[in-house]
């Protein structure tokens, strides 16, 4: 047992008193500071905010829904940062503000003596189910990114919690009034919308999306039964042998309608795209395809034009975008149509009943806000229905019915599209980003508010985006890509040969044109190094030939090289995750640093033509690596050596300028195809919500031509038969 002396107890007591006084002092300071913070706003301002807090947050929630439904689907065909920023901020704020609104409503006092305040509380509680509608989100966007699909369990928990909060508000405000009864259909509509969103997120999550496409377990021919029969016959004294029968392979049969309604735009392309979408969507789940899939797809694309091929792929990827990021899984079904009818009819009936029987009993401001919620919900639903009817899914359904009713529905939809400014039928941005190393180094684009950016230390972050631009993917470029892939597909006799084509990144073209000995070193390097080498060399050759007037802007091969060169550098700098692993960004930074030092010594350099002339004047007789070593990763002067070798083809090999650019264009297309095949499926899916990517279209086109590693080699079952003699 411990014994404390009197002196020890006195010391402990004094320490306890001091600590108690210290805690009390800190607490009083906190209370004083809190009171001072509260006193920043006057009593009138605080009272005004208390009166308008719920009204403001509810109206904000409605505003965010309007922004989402207007811009949610536009990111499918607009590849601009401002669209992505608006949607990102609104998507995050919409759920947050709706949850805050429910929390504010749940804090309302239930027992209020003032009758007018009691009526206001009843009306405010009527707003709770509208917030469930808002949490359900618009049909045009359910997930901002693929990560949102993976969080479907969190949304399921949110559905349960938010519904319980809204139901608690509803029960506490129950006074047996007509307004309380009108809240019930809105509750049903809100629960439908929120449940739809949760179900769609679950369906688009990687696990469930993959599981939905797995085939049924296939045990194959009954081996045990076959061997039992084999052993039995052998024991009976027969001479038994095995004969392989004909191959059993179920060819895929296309489900074309008896007659396609050609009055619907792109009717045939819609059917082809939907057929291939149901097959090739397995690529977005990292699953393999059968040899029958390859056989039919290859046959179709080898016998179509490049315009039709790219249009089919556009529609396919549009379907894929809808499945991953919208409510397409639900709304384009019979159940979806029924749920949409129920939610819309309930909202309309509640609006009519409120306007006829209820509105005169409450304050004018709250009645106006309630009308905004009701009418806004109806308009948003009608807008969503028009978007639904304007989609490729509806056009596909209409094209399957060749009758006057289908034509009438289509004309009605076209009229609604005109009235609601739905004139655009774009399925993707049809643009490709451009980035140029020399332009970035010589700063040929003036930067606005440079001092402000440097003051806030955001200059380096914004500098790279400032020198990014966009250009339209030209028909000539599409034709060039299609024709080269067509030639490769026809030259490959089987799947193994097609897989080997995926590994080529310029070496096959150089070998076919007897140039590998001269340029092979630039292709055998790491892929990111090859991109930088050929990008700089292409730029030097382009501006040199342009200055000599040896090429014109109408030279399609030359322009294709320039577009692909700047596009591949954009991928290297801005989207390195879409390229094979490497140190491309380090090489880019070191090359830019060396180029800036060089251009500073050669002042004044005001344009890319002068920069190209100065760089090509540098002698590269000795390899740069022998002079600089391996400390820096710059490839600037190695690219100058490559450019001089390309230019020498006209002098030494007597090549025409068009032939030289033809070879360079084929090298770039092969490098583009290699990058497309190496990019993971989830990165391709990510780019669908950013306006689409040319690389994704090339990847899917390669798969349709059979140039992919996602086909299995087996040729089906061979039926073995017993031969008894």
pLDDT digits (tens, 9 = 90+) for 305-336: 999 999 999 999 999 999 999 999 898 888 88
Share of the chain above pLDDT 70, in %: 84
Decide: 435 and 441 in contact? Cβ < 8 Å.
Answer: no
- Cα–Cα dist 264/395, whole Å: 7
Query: Model confidence over 92-137: pLDDT tens digits?
Result: 999 999 998 888 888 765 444 455 566 677 888 899 999 999 999 8
pLDDT of 303 reads 93
Angle at CA 61, nearest 5°, toward 55 and 66? Answer: 125
Count of beta carbons in the 10 Å neighbourhood of residue 619: 9
- The mean per-residue pLDDT over the stretch 343-354 comes to 92
pLDDT at residue 680 is higher than 90: yes
> What pLDDT was estimated at residue 53?
84
- Return d(Cα 159, Cα 138) in angstroms, integer: 16
> CA-CA distance, 678 to 607, in Å (whole number)?
35
Nearest to 463 by CA among 296, 322, 632, 589: 589
Residue 644's Cβ-count burial label (10 Å; 0-12, 13-18, 19+) is middle
Which among 471, 670, 669 is positioned nearest to 557, based on CA atoms? 669
Structure tokens at 248: 């059993």
Number of neighbours of residue 422 by Cβ within 10 angstroms: 16
Is the separation of the CB atoms in 501 and 492 below 8 Å? Answer: yes
Measured CA to CA, the distance from residue 9 to residue 15 in angstroms comes to 10
Nearest residue to 680 (alpha-carbon basis) of 214, 312, 206: 206
Beta bridge partners of 711: 289
The tens digit of pLDDT for each residue in 277-308 reads 999 999 999 888 888 888 889 999 999 999 99
| Burial class, 90, CB count within 10 angstroms (exposed 0-12 / middle 13-18 / buried 19+) | buried
**432 three-state secondary structure:** strand
605 touches 439 (CB < 8 A)? no
- 630 burial (CB, 10 Å; 0-12 / 13-18 / 19+) is exposed
Residue 418 corresponds to which tokens in the numbers above? 């005109």
pLDDT for the residue numbered 516? 92
Give phi and psi for 600, each to the nearest 5.
Answer: -65, -35
**What pLDDT, on the 0 to 100 scale, is given for residue 233?**
77
| Digit-coded pLDDT (tens) for 513-556 | 999 999 999 999 999 999 999 999 999 999 988 887 765 545 78
Compute φ and ψ for 240, nearest 5 degrees. -115, 135
**Which pLDDT tens digit goes with each residue over 181-216?**
999 999 999 999 999 999 999 999 999 999 888 877
Burial 340-377 (b: 16+ CB within 10 A, else e): beebbebbbebbebbeeebbeebeeebbebbeebbebb
């Amino acid at each position: 047992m411990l014994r404390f002396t009197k002196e020890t107890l006195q010391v402990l007591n004094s320490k306890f008193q001091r600590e108690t006084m210290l805690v009390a002092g800190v607490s009083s300071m906190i209370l004083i500071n809190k009171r001072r913070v509260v006193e920043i706003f006057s009593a009138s301002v605080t009272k005004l905010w208390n009166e308008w807090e719920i009204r403001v947050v509810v109206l904000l929630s409605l505003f965010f829904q309007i922004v989402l439904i207007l811009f949610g689907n536009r990111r499918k065909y607009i590849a601009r940062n401002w669209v992505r920023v608006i949607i990102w901020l609104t998507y995050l704020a919409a759920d947050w503000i709706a949850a805050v609104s429910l929390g504010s409503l749940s804090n309302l006092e239930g027992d209020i003596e003032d009758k007018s305040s009691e009526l206001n509380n009843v009306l405010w509680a009527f707003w709770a189910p509208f917030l469930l509608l808002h949490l359900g989100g618009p049909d045009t966007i359910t997930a901002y990114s693929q990560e949102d699909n993976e969080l479907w369990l969190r949304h399921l928990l949110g559905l349960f919690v938010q519904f319980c909060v809204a139901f608690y508000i509803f029960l506490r405000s129950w006074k047996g009034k007509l307004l309380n009864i009108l809240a019930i259909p809105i509750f049903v509509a809100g629960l439908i919308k929120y449940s739809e969103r949760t179900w769609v997120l679950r369906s688009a999550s990687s696990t469930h999306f993959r599981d939905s496409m797995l085939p049924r377990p296939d045990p194959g021919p009954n081996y045990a039964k076959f061997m039992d029969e084999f052993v039995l016959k052998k024991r009976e004294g027969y001479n038994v042998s095995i004969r392989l029968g004909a191959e059993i392979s179920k060819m895929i049969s296309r489900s074309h309608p008896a007659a396609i309604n050609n009055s619907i735009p792109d009717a045939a392309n819609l059917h082809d795209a939907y057929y291939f979408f149901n097959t090739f969507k397995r690529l977005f789940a990292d699953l393999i395809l059968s040899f029958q899939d390859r056989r039919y797809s290859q046959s179709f694309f080898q016998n179509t034009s490049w315009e039709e091929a790219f249009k089919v792929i556009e529609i396919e990827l549009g379907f894929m975008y809808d499945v991953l990021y919208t409510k397409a899984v639900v709304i384009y079904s019979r159940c979806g149509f029924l749920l949409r009818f129920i939610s819309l009819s309930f909202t309309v009936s509640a609006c009519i009943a409120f306007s006829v029987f209820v509105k005169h009993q409450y304050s004018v401001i709250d009645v106006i806000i309630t009308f905004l919620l009701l009418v806004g919900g109806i308009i948003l639903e009608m807008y969503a229905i028009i978007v639904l009817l304007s989609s490729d899914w509806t056009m596909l359904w209409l094209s399957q019915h060749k009758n006057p009713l289908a034509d009438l529905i289509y004309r009605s939809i076209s009229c609604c599209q005109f009235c609601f400014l739905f004139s655009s039928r774009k399925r993707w941005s049809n643009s490709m980003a451009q980035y140029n190393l020399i332009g970035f180094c010589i700063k040929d684009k003036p930067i606005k508010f440079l001092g402000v950016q440097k003051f806030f230390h955001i200059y380096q972050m914004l500098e790279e985006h400032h020198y990014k631009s966009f250009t339209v993917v030209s028909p000539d470029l599409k034709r060039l890509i299609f024709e080269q892939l067509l030639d490769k597909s026809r030259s490959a006799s089987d799947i193994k040969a097609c897989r080997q084509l995926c590994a080529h990144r310029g070496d096959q073209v150089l070998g076919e044109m007897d140039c590998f000995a001269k340029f092979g070193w630039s292709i055998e390097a790491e892929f990111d190094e090859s991109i930088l080498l050929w990008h700089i060399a292409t730029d030097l050759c382009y501006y040199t030939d342009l200055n000599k007037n040896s090429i014109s802007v109408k030279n399609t091969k030359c322009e294709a090289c320039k577009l692909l060169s700047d596009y591949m550098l954009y991928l290297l700098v801005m989207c390195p995750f879409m390229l094979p692993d490497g140190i491309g960004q380090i090489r880019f930074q070191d090359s830019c640093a060396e180029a800036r030092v060089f251009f500073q010594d050669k002042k004044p350099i005001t344009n890319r033509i002068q920069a190209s002339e100065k760089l090509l004047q540098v002698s590269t007789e000795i390899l740069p690596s022998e002079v600089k070593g391996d400390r820096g990763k710059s490839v600037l002067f190695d690219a100058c050596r490559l450019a001089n070798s390309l230019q020498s083809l006209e002098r030494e090999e007597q090549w025409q300028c068009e032939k030289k650019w033809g070879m360079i264009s084929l090298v770039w297309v092969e490098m583009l195809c290699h990058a497309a095949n190496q990019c993971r499926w989830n990165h391709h899916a990510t780019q669908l919500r950013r306006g689409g990517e040319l690389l994704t279209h090339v990847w899917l086109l390669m798969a349709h031509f059979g140039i992919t590693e996602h086909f299995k080699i087996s040729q089906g079952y061979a039926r073995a038969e017993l031969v008894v003699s």
